[in-house]
Amino acid sequence: MNWLVVLGSVLVSGLVGYVFGVCKSFREAKQRAYQEILPPIIKMAYRSDQANEGDFCEALSKLWLYGSKRVTEKMEHALHVAHDASRGDISTALQQAVVEMRKDIQVYPWQKLRAEEVNHLFTRITKGAK
């Protein structure tokens, strides 16, 4: 009887470890995907003359694959605004998408940001006169 308890404990702990490992791996994949997709999306939104269509499409593919439903909805809205400015402000839409990405990969809820705290998605540094 004791060997059944030990075997059950080993199986349960192995299963729990496997589930946590899979969750950790997926979270890390999301973090990499979000990190990779933001630069081409921001470039498309603010510097479309320098945007690479292939990089942008690859970024969106990763977003649709790894992003949560809320992230993809926010980014879809941002893309609608990017294509038609009458639908809203691109900076606000991208801020909301970035905040949703961060919420999606953060472990602790107290690290939450508000959209208005995500500033300078795109900034040009110019060498001006002193």
Question: Is residue 112 scored above 60 in pLDDT?
Answer: yes
Residue 17, judged by CB atoms within 10 A of its CB (0-12, 13-18, 19+), counts as exposed
Structure tokens that stand for 99 in this block? 């905040």
Measured distance CA(66)–CA(13) in Å, rounded: 28
Give the per-residue pLDDT at 55. Answer: 82
Give the per-residue pLDDT at 1. Answer: 64
Mean pLDDT score, 77-96: 87
- Beta carbons of 59 and 37 less than 8 angstroms apart: yes
Mean pLDDT score, 101-106: 85
Output 122 or 44, whichever has higher pLDDT: 44
Give the per-residue pLDDT at 91. Answer: 85
Question: Is residue 70 scored above 90 in pLDDT?
Answer: yes
Q: Which pTM was predicted?
A: 0.69
Output 92 or 117, whichever has higher pLDDT: 92
